[in-house]
Chain A
Amino acid sequence: MDEWKPNPAIKPHKKRSWYLAWKYKLMNQRALRKLCQTGAVLFLLVTVIVNIKLILDTRRAAYEEEEESAQDYDDEMLNVEVPRRPVSNKKVLDVEVYSSRSKVYVAVDGTTVLEDEAREQGRGIHVIVLNQATGHVMAKRVFDTYSPHEDEAMVLFLNMVARGRILIFTIKDEGSFHLKDTAKNVLKSLGSQVAPFLSWRDMWTFVGKKGGEVYGEKHAKSPALSTWGDPVLLKTEVHLTSVEDAECHWPDTELNRRRKRFCSKVEGYGSVCSCKDPTPIEFNPDPLKDNKVFDVPVAVIAGNRPNYLYRMLRSLLSAQGVNPQMITVFIDGYYEEPMDVVELFGLSGIQHTPISIKNARVSQHYKASLTATFNLFPDAKFAVVLEEDLDISVDFFSFLSQSIHLLEEDESLYCISAWNDQGYEHTAEDPSLLYRVETMPGLGWVLRKSLYKDELEPKWPTPEKLWDWDMWMRMPEQRKGRECIIPDISRSYHFGIVGLNMNGYFHEAYFKKHKFNTVPNVQLKNVESLRKDAYETEIHRLLGEAEVLDHSKNPCEDSFVPDTEGKVYVMFIRMEQEADFTTWTQLAKCLHIWDLDVRGNHKGLWRLFRKKNHFLVVGVPASPYSSKKPSSVTPIYMEPPAKEEGAVAVPAVAAAEQT
């Protein structure tokens, strides 16, 4: 074989295009080939999956669209999420407390929880109670310890606060003048070093835990009698405890769950929140046999006096025959604490956006509450109307059950009321006795639905009329000569001292000594004799039986009435015409009964008790009962004293005792 010689005719090897070269090069590498194949397959898979997902999504979207077109079923109101307080995981609270002559403030973690810069108000020691686990404000009080007795109230309050609560004190203006030793000692026992030495116009702030440590205290003495101490700003830190440590461990029942909710939010209600033996919040009063008012709605008209509401609801729920399901509390404003009290007792509460001012605001609140009551209970023919500052007698519903048929059947009746305007401790005796009177006492009464819907509601005073609703109801245009039935001994007790028309003096003078029935299950006597004509017969019978007293004596003296018991006496006073109440007013004044306006009369006749004898007063000649007067007797005339400098100033409020 010859040696292979390159063929010169063949052209020389040309370089391939780099692409091709690269391509072939790649194709030759097996691993790379495999990689590309896998990649392609993967890519294919991914595309398929994406497509399937797309199809499903479109399908679902179409389905949902169909659902959404049934938007009928979706709540239009986008639930406005109540912004929840961020649950701070902070274990420490920053507390700032400021005390000065004209301004106080307290800030917790930057939020101002108390600020009072108003002039002429808020004087004294401000107390704030914080929940030791959450830092929430549980109570806010101010005790004007410049004035007497406020320090006692403060001690009472502080004693009721649960152990472990954080207490913040700050003085505005002056808080030492009537801060007596007892109070000072209580503050000392809370850990205050300064309290025992607080004096005139000193500024003081204090933060401590009840039964525990002191977080801070600052004080500025007033340099001279005529000046105040320098403003004091206390900044301190308070360590929070765990929630379990801040709560009591009551057995888990529905009632205790309500209790727990209430007690972690609010302070100042004493033993209802004690860990050991808390006061019951459920009452099981005896049921009432044949209860004619079981289905009558009860409207409790309330404002922002939650401690009053608490006391009132306790007595209401303890009354025999009460039906808690029929009770609705109407609160005049969006106040939390009264709502908390309502929920504590498991009752139903409704809040009303207040309109107008002063007494017109109260009047609009009444109207809204009464209208709502009849809307919520469309079958009801009556409604019981109560207020938050009344104690309710244990036989309140029994009293109504026995008398309500009169309101239904006797057109000449305007209402049934539990309150006897003239029923004081020394002038009321018989719990089974009823009267007809030409006034509307209110203070726990029954309203007929037809009266409200047909007559009162359509012409209820409009918001700009600054009238008292009850004075308006007593006007002849509304009352139209109709009468109310009242008991001799009231079935409600008015305990409110603070209110729109109330003050301490007024309460002391006209309400404190009011007689209140505490006897359960009283059987009312002779209820049928309260009907229009039957009552006249009864009056005539009484007047026939009554012994005429010696009119030469002074009727204001105790000796005017003999020292007997259970007898019936009659006295005649001068009453020139229907509206002549001159003598009556003087008599009422000296007998220390209601004398601000005329109440309790029935055709010129008043009925009360003196020294446990039934005492009838007849106005001559205006009263139709004047015919019973023996001709020998001269009606007594008493005229108002001439205006002297020392004349007693009657409180400058309209003669209304409502809140």
Chain B
Amino acid sequence: VGLFRTAEKMGFQWLKIINKDPRLDGMDDLSGIEIPLHYIFKLASHAIHLVVFYERSGNYLWHGPLRLKQHMDRKFVPFRKLHFGRYPGAYEKPELLLVSIDDLKVQIPKNPSRFLEEVSHSRFLECRYREARAFFQVYPDDASLDAVEFRKKAKSLLHLAALTLNNLGVKFWLSSGTCLGWYRQCNVIPHSKDVDLGVFIRDYKADIIPAFQKAGLPLKHKFGKVEDSLELSFQGEDDVKLDIFFFYEESDHIWNGGTQAKSGKKFKYLFPKFTLCWTEFVELKVHVPCETLQYVEANYGPDWKVPVKTWDWKSSPSNVQFNGVWPVDEWDDVIQIY
């Protein structure tokens, strides 16, 4: 309170943006007081935009979108020119450094360029809890011991995979069943059997396989090659495996490939072009396609809301296309099972 009085005394006009606290969102319906998201202090033709960051589970910082309420002055400052606030954003927790600028002691991120680089890809999506609750009204959640066990294993596998890939600097996102689980029910789908991640082939690094090995996830199979339909599968705890699908970008679409080991048949899964956004899933900050609905519908068709317990990766997806067969002489290279 003292801050605002002092600012006013100095001649500043200020604006406060508050909104619902997203940390209260979840499967339960909670409501508390609204939290401050942005403050704008204006003096003459200068403006200071104070963005309030909140730390969230998953060890990241989040800030909210800047939305003006009905009574607010839309001309207060040129809002469109602000760097923060178009969308909610997620950032790595930066280490801060105390520096002296113009005799003012301020804190800045220890690695300013890294922080600034995050700004353009910081867009954050909340999980759709309201829709998830509606989903569970129609299809009650599986509360069996098996489901609980599977979810636990999937969560720790995902955390481990995220750690490994982040250490390598490989960008990945939630794909297939894992993405559907996030989008549809904000949780791991109990009957999904494995954890699926997507990586752009341009981000591929040869270190991936040994890094996972070192982390305790040995390579289970490798299909395809870097040039075409690459797919890696790692063995997690018990029966849960981690599938990494590599995505190839064309001019007007994106695709990933699949291989049937016994016949050498190749499959292609097509997606409309998408960009990546951050979200929080099972206490982890991960990427998902920003255009999630399109992505999910491409993969699962218009009936994606209906749970399907028996899924055949060769025929069930809506976007699957037969893509020929690997030449037999390449089989040793493109079909490796351990």
Contact = CB atoms under 8 A, between A and B. Distances in A.
A73 B70 contact: no
Contacts of B74: 67, 73-74
Contacts of A372: 23-24, 26, 28, 30
B151 interface: yes
A375 B32 CA distance: 13
Contacts of A367: 28
Interface residues of B, number: 34
A75 B85 CA distance: 12
Given A70-B79, A378-B55, A351 B70 contact: no
B68 A374 contact: no
A425 interface: no
Interface stretch (B56-64, B167-175, B214-222, B236-244): B56-64
B80 to A, nearest CB: 5
Interface in B5-29: 21, 23-24, 26, 28-29
B152 A454 contact: yes
A371 B26 contact: yes
B70 A75 contact: yes
Which DSSP category, helix, strand, loop or mixed, fits chain B's interface? loop
B31 interface: yes
B24 A350 contact: yes
A349 interface: yes
Contact of A459 (B30, B86, B148): B148
Nearest to B28: A368
A70 to B, nearest CB: 5
A453 interface: yes
Contacts of B30: 330, 350-353, 368, 372
Contacts of A78: 70
Contacts of B69: 75, 79
A375 B24 contact: yes
A375 B68 contact: no
Interface in B134-166: 141, 143, 145, 148, 151-152
B288 interface: no
A460 to B, nearest CB: 9
Interface string A441-458: 000000000000110001
Interface in B66-96: 66-70, 74, 79-80, 85-87
A351 B68 contact: no
Nearest to B143: A462
Interface string B175-199: 0000000000000000000000000
A458 B152 CA distance: 8
B91 to A, nearest CB: 14
B27 to A, nearest CB: 8
A375 B31 contact: no
A393 B248 CA distance: 64
A371 B70 contact: no
Contacts of B141: 462
A102 B48 CA distance: 65
A366 B191 CA distance: 28
A420 interface: no
B57 A375 contact: yes
B33 interface: yes
Nearest to A379: B55
A351 B26 contact: no
B55 A73 contact: no
Contact of A353 (B29, B55, B80, B145): B29
A415 B31 CA distance: 29
A367 B2 CA distance: 37
A351 B31 CA distance: 5
Interface string A344-388: 000011111101000000001001100110111011000000000
A239 to B, nearest CB: 37
B283 interface: yes
B24 A73 contact: no
Contacts of B67: 73-76
Contacts of B29: 352-353
A462 B142 CA distance: 10
Contact of A376 (B23, B68, B70, B145): B23
Nearest to B141: A462
A72 interface: yes
Given A352-B28, A376-B23, A73 B143 contact: no
B104 to A, nearest CB: 27
Contacts of A453: 283
A97 to B, nearest CB: 35
Contacts of B87: 72
Contacts of A348: 32-33
B59 A73 contact: no
Interface centre among A67, A375, A454 (most CB of B within 10 A): A375
Contacts of B56: 375, 378
Interface string B27-42: 0111111000000000
B130 to A, nearest CB: 12
A75 B74 CA distance: 11
Contacts of B57: 374-375, 378
A31 B87 CA distance: 70
A67 B79 CA distance: 10
A466 to B, nearest CB: 15
Contacts of A364: 28
A469 to B, nearest CB: 14
A78 B145 CA distance: 44
Contacts of B151: 458
Contacts of B143: 459, 462
B19 to A, nearest CB: 8
Contact of A350 (B32, B65, B80, B145): B32
Interface string A390-424: 00000000000000000000000000000000000
16 contacts: A70-B80, A72-B86, A75-B68, A79-B69, A350-B31, A351-B30, A352-B29, A353-B29, A368-B30, A372-B26, A375-B24, A378-B55, A378-B59, A454-B152, A458-B148, A459-B145
Given A372-B24, A375-B57, 6 more contacts: A67-B74, A72-B87, A73-B66, A348-B32, A350-B24, A367-B28
Interface of A: 67, 70, 72-76, 78-79, 330, 348-353, 355, 364, 367-368, 371-372, 374-376, 378-379, 453-454, 458-459, 462
Interface of B: 21, 23-24, 26, 28-33, 55-59, 65-70, 74, 79-80, 85-87, 141, 143, 145, 148, 151-152, 283
